[in-house]
Amino acid sequence: MVSSLQSLLDGEVPVLIDFTATWCGPCKMQAPILTELKKEVGDRVRVIKIDIDKNPQVAAAFQVQSVPTIIIFKDRKPI
């Protein structure tokens, strides 16, 4: 998963990664906002949701210590 995610970051389109968990109340509140954002920005930004419980290695690779965490990447760098 980490290597495939890194390949997504290589693209020219900015990537928003939403680190979430099914048990996280604030994550559930944030989800509709991100859905609306995706509708507004369309293909100009790629929005990816990652469940930290199902992908702990990805969360560790990006040093996610709590949820919700959002990281936006442009040119492979967090901004």
**Annotated catalytic residue, options 9, 15, 21, 24:** 24
Q: Does 35 qualify as catalytic in the annotation?
A: no
Q: 67 and 31 in contact (C-beta within 8 Å)?
A: no
Q: Does 27 qualify as catalytic in the annotation?
A: yes
**Annotated catalytic residue, options 9, 17, 27, 59:** 27
Show the beta-strand stretches assigned E in 6-75: 15-20, 46-51, 69-74
Q: Which residues does the annotation mark as catalytic?
A: 24, 27
